[in-house]
């Protein structure tokens, strides 16, 4: 093994100088250009007239017009040589017609391919719209320019002028008449055929991802079109786009933990907004009858495939309507955006077909739970009965949970996964809806809906609460929850209360998750795929060095941490003996964490996707979110008991148990997952 490590290290040591040498070569080329008075970084502009796709479309239209009377040669009955000669002659005739009426263009972009062939060469230029082949001849651009071109590198940015033509193989190209190096690339791009596939690098270096992966560029172009379509639709309906503060004294309007900061100038603590709601309602009070905002909100929560601590939210409020009006608006908006961006209301996401053209289903939360869980909540008389039924169905609840909270837990456990087609779930319990109007006929429930697609919550809407007396009581209830340890509960916003007391008309309001909408309409698998620069855990200098050099790990040089165990209290050892055969029935295995995410609407649970060595992914849920964020566990090697029977948790089967070490320190429980050497393979059995 030592010999193998030495060989591998020697290979790394020989590879790394090669990369350094390549970078040096590029810098030397730049220095030569600068010395000869052709510094590309001195160029300030280039008059770009077209993009690649525009050139191709323009040429095809021009060609169709000029060659509309041209007859294709009939090669039927000819031998191979005769046919070849006839087609060659036809090509030359068409070229002469087109070259006599050339389309002159000027494009700019990054060179992604180059093939030098003596006095003439081909390259490929990539721009915003795609790429196009360029024919570069010494006689056309001049000897000096051609010599510079031959020395150019993949990744260099060129501006070029010339005329469009079609090659003998049928590819629309540009015959360059002038080549101008606009920027010298001093770094190497990823290898062409393998591209940039590492997801971590793609997210951290999105600029490289956009260059190398056309799908990534298409996703973000489509995202921009989605936002434009939303604005177009709302503008047509008379809505006014506004902006409200991001730094706030009271972060309300949603159940979420805010980020906190300090404003030095005023010596005041502030928070980053978690919602747009309370300020937009102030504008409704002020008489702006239709308002919306598309903006960033910030929630100090975990990272997973559908959550990022900063994300784009749209909230919209309309006076003199209710949640039924919001349903109509949502249905029409989604149809419009899909048609505008995709050209169809029929979308497919991960094999699931969804038809936005059909009327969206509308169902109450009580009816949905009855349909999918078989529990009729209308028959549940009180909290005690709700708790009994929850225990019978293995629904985990907390002491603070009321009857309505438990109904919502049933909904999350049994219903959400079935809501694949566009569905409005209406009439939520009042306990989970502090800013919503009660249903006049049944004050235990409120006029609220959540919009679901693909099993995801896509929007949340209310008939907004405009009774200031009721609103104050709701805030009071929220503060009691805060005192009980719910750090996502709202606090009373006195200025908002003042606005309500001045008077807010009957209002419908809704919040849309823009990022999830973009995921569905672009086919993106994770929220990070629709965020240009998603939140990532910082890489320290040691980690960066390990990525770019063959230096030995610095761990050996780290100072050994001194740990004080004097305040640690551990549980007493079991006195009851277990025979060896009984113990041996537990199958302890090393498992690799392939993915980890927070379980939706659970504060405690993390969902692990594990490699257990069988070739089939294993799912285990663990209530350790208070101690770990999902992102920091991906790639770790853990220990699991793999032969426990599956246990349903939040509607997900947990197939096994991860082992943790637990102790008490100064009255507080501490937990550490058992993490082992990454050299241990997945599936290795512990004895």
pLDDT tens readout for residues 330-380: 999 999 999 999 999 999 998 999 999 999 999 999 999 999 999 999 999
pLDDT band at 540 (very low <50, low <70, confident <90, very high): low
DSSP 256-283: SPPPEEEETTTTEEEEE-S-SHHHHHHH
Q: Is the pLDDT of residue 434 over 80?
A: no
Q: Is the pLDDT of residue 190 over 90?
A: no
The burial class, CB within 10 Å (0-12 / 13-18 / 19+), for 123 is buried
What's the CA angle centered on 315, arms 504 and 436, to 5 degrees? 50
Bridging pattern class, strands 268-272 and 260-263 = antiparallel
DSSP state of 530: G
Global pTM reads 0.75
Element housing 292 (H / E): strand 290-298
What's the CA angle centered on 300, arms 297 and 304, to 5 degrees? 90
What is the per-residue pLDDT for 563?
Answer: 67
Q: What is the pLDDT of residues 236-264, one digit of tens each?
A: 999 999 999 999 998 888 778 899 999 99
Looking at every residue in the chain, the average pLDDT score rounds to 89
Question: What Å distances lie between residue 553 and 12, 18, 557, 560, 677, CA to CA?
Answer: 14, 21, 8, 15, 15
d(CA 568, CA 663): 7
Tell the residue number behind the tokens 């190497």, with chain if given: 188
What is the per-residue pLDDT for 433?
Answer: 85
pLDDT band at 562 (very low <50, low <70, confident <90, very high): low
Pick the closest to residue 514 from 228, 128, 205, 206 (CA basis): 228
Q: Is the pLDDT of residue 128 over 80?
A: yes
d(CA 600, CA 621): 12
Pick the closest to residue 123 from 164, 161, 163, 153 (CA basis): 153
pLDDT band at 303 (very low <50, low <70, confident <90, very high): confident
The average pLDDT across 285-292 equals 97
Question: What Å distances lie between residue 367 and 410, 420, 515, CA to CA?
Answer: 12, 17, 29
Lowest mean pLDDT among 150-164, 308-322, 391-405, 558-572: 558-572
What is the per-residue pLDDT for 240?
Answer: 98
d(CA 464, CA 462): 5
Q: Which residues lie across from 320 on neighbouring strands?
A: none
């Amino acid at each position: 093994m030592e010999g193998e490590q030495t060989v591998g290290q020697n290979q790394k040591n020989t590879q790394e100088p090669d990369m350094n040498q390549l970078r040096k070569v590029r810098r030397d080329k730049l220095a030569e250009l600068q010395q000869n008075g052709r510094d590309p970084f001195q160029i300030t502009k280039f008059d770009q007239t077209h993009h690649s796709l525009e050139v191709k479309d323009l040429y095809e239209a021009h060609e169709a017009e000029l060659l509309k009377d041209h007859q294709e040669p009939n090669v039927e009955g000819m031998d191979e040589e005769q046919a070849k000669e006839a087609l060659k002659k036809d090509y030359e005739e068409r070229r002469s017609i087109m070259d006599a009426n050339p389309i002159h263009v000027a494009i700019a972009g990054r060179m992604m391919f180059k093939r030098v062939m003596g006095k003439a060469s081909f390259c490929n230029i990539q721009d915003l719209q795609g790429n196009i082949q360029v024919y570069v001849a010494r006689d056309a651009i001049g000897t000096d320019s051609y010599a510079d071109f031959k020395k150019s590198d993949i990744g260099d940015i060129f501006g070029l002028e010339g005329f469009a033509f079609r090659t003998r193989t049928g590819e629309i190209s540009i015959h360059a008449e002038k080549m101008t190096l606009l920027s010298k690339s001093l770094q190497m791009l990823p290898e062409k055929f393998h591209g940039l596939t590492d997801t971590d690098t793609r997210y951290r270096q999105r600029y490289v991802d956009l260059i190398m992966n056309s799908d990534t560029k298409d996703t973000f172009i489509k995202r921009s079109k989605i936002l434009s379509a939303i604005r177009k639709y709302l503008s047509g309906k008379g809505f006014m786009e506004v902006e409200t503060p991001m730094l706030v004294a009271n972060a309300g309007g949603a159940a979420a933990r805010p980020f906190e900061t300090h404003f030095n100038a005023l010596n005041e603590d502030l928070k980053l907004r978690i919602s747009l709601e309370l300020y937009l309602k102030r504008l409704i009070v002020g008489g702006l009858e239709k308002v919306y905002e598309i903006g960033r909100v910030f929630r100090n929560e975990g990272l997973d495939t559908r959550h990022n601590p900063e994300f784009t939210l749209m909230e919209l409020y309309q006076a003199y309507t209710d949640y039924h009006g919001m349903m109509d608006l949502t249905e029409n908006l989604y149809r419009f955006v899909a048609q505008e961006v995709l050209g169809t209301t029929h979308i497919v996401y991960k094999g699931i077909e969804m038809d936005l053209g059909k009327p969206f289903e509308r169902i109450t939360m009580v009816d949905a739970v009855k349909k999918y869980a078989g529990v009729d909540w209308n028959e549940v008389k009180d909290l005690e009965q709700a708790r009994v039924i929850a225990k019978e169905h293995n629904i985990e609840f907390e002491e603070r949970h009321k009857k309505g909270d438990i109904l919502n837990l049933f909904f999350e456990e049994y219903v959400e996964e079935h809501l694949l087609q566009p569905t409005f779930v209406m009439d939520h319990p009042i306990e989970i809806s502090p800013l919503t109007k009660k249903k006049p006929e049944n004050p235990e429930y409120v006029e609220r809906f959540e919009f679901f697609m693909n099993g995801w919550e896509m929007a949340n809407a209310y008939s907004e609460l405009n009774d200031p007396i009721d609103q104050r009581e709701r805030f009071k209830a929220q503060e009691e929850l805060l005192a009980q340890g719910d750090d996502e509960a709202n606090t009373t916003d006195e200025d908002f209360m003042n606005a309500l007391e001045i008077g807010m008309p009957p209002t419908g309001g809704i919040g849309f998750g823009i990022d999830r909408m973009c995921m569905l309409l672009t086919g993106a698998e994770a929220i990070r795929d629709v965020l240009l620069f998603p939140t990532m855990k910082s890489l320290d200098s040691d980690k960066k060095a390990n990525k770019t050099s063959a230096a030995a790990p610095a761990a050996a040089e780290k100072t050994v941490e001194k740990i004080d165990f004097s305040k640690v209290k551990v549980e007493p050892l079991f006195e009851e003996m277990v025979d060896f055969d009984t113990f041996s029935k537990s199958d302890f295995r090393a498992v690799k964490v392939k993915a980890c995410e927070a379980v939706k609407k659970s504060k405690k649970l993390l969902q692990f996707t594990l490699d257990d060595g069988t070739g089939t992914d294993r799912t285990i849920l663990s209530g350790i979110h208070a101690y770990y964020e999902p992102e920091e566990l991906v790639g770790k090697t853990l220990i699991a008991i793999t032969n426990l029977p599956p246990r349903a948790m939040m509607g997900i089967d947990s197939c096994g148990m991860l082992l943790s070490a637990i102790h008490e320190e100064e009255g507080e429980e501490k937990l550490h997952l058992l993490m082992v050497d990454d050299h241990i393979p997945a599936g290795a059995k512990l004895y």
